[in-house]
């Protein structure tokens, strides 16, 4: 349930951007103003996508934006209902319905290989070759293709009539993007999904004036997803998924006068790493981080460094935060850790996990030190130092305990 809430609301604002765009279109005065400046959006979005794609090594962002803007250009030039050659308009419309979801799904599998590289240039050629291929097919089998696609039209709510092949491609691409995002948590895959939905709506709204605006929104969704991904790289720890040290420093600047800081350390983690290997050690860190993410009392966990974590309790004093930390300590001890894989092959045989250890549940505990802001500790750094001293007291007293 948490995954789906995050997918629609928190992880990246693709769905919210699409909802806002549809809400704007319901307002007659606002939509008329938007349509008046829509011609500015494609070049502006193209420049932004090119800059971000180059600067942050996000070639998939540029390629996805290029496909969306190219589809909009072809539809406006050849696929409009006002065109004299209605057969060409219908041909471009149906083939665009097939091409856009297919391309966005394909881009989700492409690894970042740069833009001005051999791989990047080949991908540019692949994208630009598609309109040429469609033009060639139109000259040879255009009427036949249109008749066959329109013979398989399925009426759908919101989207209107779609050909069965376009519906199948869109559904498979959407499910594929959902699966990839759930497995990899790549925010650009999240953006590809919502950009695909937005582009389908652009092709199905029945109002040609809305089409360029919605295609621009689809490109904007990709750009925002790339920015969110860059932000996550800077402020979130890749291994554990928790906010990183930089995010902690910024959060501490926003604290009021009342708050509690807890420093959390995994007991005997170095020995654990030496015996089972760093790969298994990483699994331990990820598991503990998952438990820290569910801490109650409004606690906000961060990866501090190594095997240490920090939990902030804004607006809470020690006695209010301590029960939640005690519960966390008990949950980690009760969970333990089941060794799932062998140690890294690069480790010495004497330090690698033994064959009999695989699948064995081993003991895992944490020690916690906590401190609150008061007249003697007025700055966040002073509170963290006090919590760190309390953590060492917990370790010296035997570990697996909370010290205030």
Range 308-311, long-range pairs (CB < 8 A, 24+ positions)? 308/263, 308/264, 308/265, 309/242, 309/263, 309/264, 309/265, 310/248, 310/261, 310/262, 310/263, 310/264, 310/384, 310/387, 311/261, 311/262, 311/264
CB hemisphere CA count around 78 (13 angstroms): 17
User: For 258, which DSSP code?
Assistant: -
Give the 3-state secondary structure of residue 167: helix
For 108, residues 6+ apart whose C-beta sits below 8 A from its C-beta are: 60, 176, 177, 180, 186, 188, 189, 192
CB 65 within 8 A of CB 222: yes
Phi and psi at 237, nearest 5°, equal: -75, 125
Q: How far, in Å, CA of 391 to CA of 141, rounded?
A: 75
Secondary structure (DSSP) of 228-251: HHHHHHHHB-TTT-SB-HHHHHHH
Give the 3-state secondary structure of residue 331: helix
The number of residues in the chain equals 404
User: Of 307, 308, 320, 331, which residue is the catalytic one?
Assistant: 307
Run of H or E residues at 314: strand 308-314
Both structure tokens of 91: 């041909």
Active site residue 307: yes
Run of H or E residues at 155: strand 153-156
Q: How far, in Å, CA of 250 to CA of 264, rounded?
A: 19
CB 202 within 8 A of CB 210: yes
Residue 355: how many CB atoms within 10 A of its CB? 7
Phi and psi at 154, nearest 5°, equal: -120, 120
- Which residues are catalytically annotated? 307
């Amino acid at each position: 349930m948490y995954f789906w809430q995050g997918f629609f609301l928190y992880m990246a604002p693709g769905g919210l951007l699409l909802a806002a765009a549809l809400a704007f279109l319901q307002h007659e005065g606002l939509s008329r103003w938007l349509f008046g400046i829509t011609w500015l959006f494609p070049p502006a979005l193209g420049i932004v996508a090119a800059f971000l794609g180059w600067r942050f090594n996000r070639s998939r962002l540029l390629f996805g934006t290029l496909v969306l803007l190219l589809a909009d250009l072809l539809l406006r030039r050849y696929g409009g209902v006002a065109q004299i050659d209605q057969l060409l308009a219908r041909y471009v419309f149906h083939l665009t319905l097939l091409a856009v979801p297919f391309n966005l799904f394909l881009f989700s599998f492409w690894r970042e290989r740069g833009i001005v590289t051999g791989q990047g240039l080949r991908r540019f050629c692949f994208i630009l070759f598609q309109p040429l291929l469609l033009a060639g097919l139109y000259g040879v089998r255009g009427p036949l293709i249109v008749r066959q696609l329109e013979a398989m039209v399925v009426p759908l709510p919101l989207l209107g009539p779609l050909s069965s092949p376009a519906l199948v491609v869109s559904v498979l691409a959407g499910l594929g993007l959902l699966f990839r995002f759930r497995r990899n948590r790549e925010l650009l895959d999240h953006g590809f999904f919502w950009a695909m939905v937005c582009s389908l709506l652009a092709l199905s709204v029945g109002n040609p004036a809305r089409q360029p605006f919605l295609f621009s929104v689809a490109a904007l969704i990709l750009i925002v997803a790339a920015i969110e991904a860059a932000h996550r790289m800077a402020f979130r720890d890749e291994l554990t998924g928790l906010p990183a040290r930089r995010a902690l420093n910024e959060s501490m600047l926003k604290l009021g006068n009342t708050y509690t800081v807890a420093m959390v350390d995994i007991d005997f983690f170095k020995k654990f790493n030496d015996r089972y290997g760093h790969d298994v050690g990483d699994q331990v860190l990820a598991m503990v981080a998952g438990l820290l993410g569910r801490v109650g009392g409004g606690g906000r966990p961060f990866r501090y460094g190594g095997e240490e974590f920090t939990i902030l309790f804004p607006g809470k004093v020690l006695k209010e935060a301590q029960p939640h930390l005690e519960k966390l300590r008990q949950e980690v001890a009760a969970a333990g850790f089941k060794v799932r894989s062998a140690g890294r092959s690069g480790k010495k045989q004497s330090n690698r996990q033994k064959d009999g250890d695989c699948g064995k549940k081993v003991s895992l505990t944490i020690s916690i030190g906590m401190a609150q802001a008061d007249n003697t500790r007025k700055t966040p750094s002073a509170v963290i130092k006090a919590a760190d001293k309390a953590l060492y007291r917990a370790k010296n007293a035997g570990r697996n305990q909370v010290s205030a």
